[in-house]
Amino acid sequence: MQTVKKIATSRMPTSHGDFTLHIYRSDNDPQGLQDQVALVAGELKPGQEEVLVRLHSECLTGDVLGSRRCDCGEQLAKSQETISKAGCGVILYLRGHEGRGIGLAHKIKAYALQDQGRDTVQANLEQGLPIDARSYELAAAMLRDLGLQRIQLLTNNPEKVTRLQAAGISVSRRVPLLITPNQNNAEYLQTKRTKLGHYL
C-alpha cells in the first residue's frame, strides 16, 4: 500500500471558488519531484461519507494552455465550481497521470498520430504503450489521509470507479461531469465513448 504525507497547506481562493490546498508527498518520491495536490472545499469530518470527489488527471495542454483537443480544462473548472457550490468536496490534481499515464511527450506524439488518422487508443498502442497506464494508489492514500473511505466520484469513466475501488476506496455513486464538445474534441470524445466506455 502506498503512503503519503501532508507537507504543506494554505488557503487557495480561485476564480471557481475558495479552497484549502494541501500538498502531499509520496514515500516513493522523497525529493518531491512529483508532489501531489488536493484542493478541499469546506470542512471534512473524519469518516464522513458521500463526499463529492474529482480525481483530475494532469493535462498540461488542456488545463494550462487551453487546448481544445480534450475536455480536461473545462472539466477541471466545472468540477471546482460544482464542488465549491456543494460546500464540501475534494479535487485531487493527479500528477504523473499526464496522457493517461504515458507522459507529455508520448501524448504529443499520440496527437501527431491522431493528426495522421489514428484515434486516441490506436495512437497509444502504435507507440507500444498501454491505452491507460494510470494508477489510483496515491489518490486512495490521499483520500484516506483526508479521512475519506466512501465517496461520490465526479467522472464519466466507469474504469476510474473500478480502479479506485481496487485501490481500497468505496464509491457509492458516479456523478457525471459533462461539458459541451467543440469541433476539435468531438472525435476524441466519441472514441472515449465507443472504445473506452465513457458515459458521454
Residue 120 annotated as part of some ligand binding site: yes
Tell me how many degrees the CA angle 59-186-74 measures, rounded to the nearest 5: 40
Under rule CB under 6 A, how many of the chain's residues touch ligand GTP?
22
What is the C-alpha separation between 78 and 56, in angstroms, rounded? 11
Residue 98 annotated as part of some ligand binding site: yes
Given 59, 92, 146, 164, the residue binding Zn ion (CB under 5 A): 59
Question: Which CB sits closer to Zn ion, 72 or 169?
Answer: 72
Under rule CB under 5 A, how many of the chain's residues touch Zn ion?
4
What is the C-alpha separation between 164 and 79, in angstroms, rounded? 18
Given 80, 137, 155, 164, the residue binding ligand GTP (CB under 6 A): 155
From residue 18, give the alpha-carbon distance in Å to each of 90, 106, 143, 162, 186: 12, 34, 19, 30, 31
Question: Which CB sits closer to ligand GTP, 82 or 157?
Answer: 157
Task: Tell me, yes or no, if 134 is annotated catalytic.
Answer: yes
**Residue of 141, 145, 123 lying closest to 132 (CA atoms):** 123
Q: Which three cell numbers stand for residue 65?
A: 494552455
Instruction: For cell 514515500, name the residue.
Output: 27
DSSP single-letter state for residue 58? P
Binding mask 74-113 for ligand GTP (x = CB under 6 A): -x---------------------xxxx-x----x--x---
Other residues' Cβ atoms within 10 Å of the Cβ of residue 178: 13
Of 134, 144, 163, 193, the catalytic one is 134
Residue 36 CA neighbour count, 13 Å, CB half: 32
Examine residue 124 and tell whether it contacts ligand GTP (CB under 6 A): yes
Residue 100 annotated as part of some ligand binding site: yes
Phi, psi of 64 (to 5 degrees): -105, -45
Examine residue 72 and tell whether it contacts Zn ion (CB under 5 A): yes
Question: Which CB sits closer to ligand GTP, 9 or 170?
Answer: 170
Instruction: For cell 477541471, name the residue.
Output: 76
CB of residue 83 to ligand GTP, shortest distance in Å: 14
Known binding positions for Zn(2+): 59, 70, 72
Using CB under 6 A as the criterion, which residues of the chain lie in contact with ligand GTP when the complex forms? 57-59, 70, 72, 75, 97-100, 102, 107, 110, 120, 124, 155-157, 160, 177, 192, 198
Active-site amino acid positions: 132, 134
